[in-house]
Amino acid sequence: MSRFGAIAVAMLLVGAGCSRGAPANDLRTFDPGQTPAELGEGEQQYQARCASCHGRHATGTDRGPPLIDRVYRPGHHADEAFQRAVAFGVQAHHWDFGPMQPIPGVSREDVVQITGYVRWLQRQAGIK
């Protein structure tokens, strides 16, 4: 393989973890099932603080990306990334929705609860 070909393959592999645009699967039909009782607080916090942009079941909206996308899997965005996003906001880098502003009044513990719920949704969607 030429040096150019090797560089092109490497760029494709690096870019595979960072998508832009809609996820490959149709999320409109995603139904995670009954939320486990221990995640109820996280679900409530998520619905109150996140769902307006990220969708009822983290499937995304026209205002924010789906969190049940492989780009947000734990191996690519650790739980601390959710903490930092809420505390400091995020410049758009995976999607074309524009920057996320910080979310005032959300404690670290709230984000722990929300992240637990989101991680469950991800597992329900087959993202690990």
Q: Angle 59-62-67 (CA atoms, 0-180°, nearest 5)? A: 30
What CATH number does the domain located at 3-124 have? 1.10.760.10
Res 21: pLDDT: 39
Q: Taking residues 41-54, report their average pLDDT.
A: 96
Q: What residue segments make up the domains of the chain, in order of their start?
A: 3-124
Q: Which residue is it, tokens 């906001």?
A: 89
Q: Which of 10-14, 27-31, 80-84 has the lowest mean pLDDT?
A: 10-14
Q: Is the pTM of this model over 0.75?
A: yes
Taking the C-alpha atoms of residue 7 and residue 21, their distance in angstroms, rounded to an integer, is 24
Q: Could you tell me if 127 and 73 are in contact, meaning their C-beta atoms sit under 8 angstroms apart?
A: yes
Cβ neighbours for 76, distance < 8 A, ≥ 6 positions apart: 17, 70
Taking the C-alpha atoms of residue 106 and residue 120, their distance in angstroms, rounded to an integer, is 20
3-class SS of residue 100? strand
pLDDT above 70 (res 29):
yes
Give the model confidence (pLDDT) of 74-97 as tens digits: 999 999 999 999 999 999 888 888
What are the angstrom distances between the C-alpha of 124 and each of 12, 69, 77? 28, 12, 18
Give the model confidence (pLDDT) of 106-115 as tens digits: 999 999 999 9
pLDDT above 90 (res 7):
no
Cβ count within 10 A of residue 122: 21
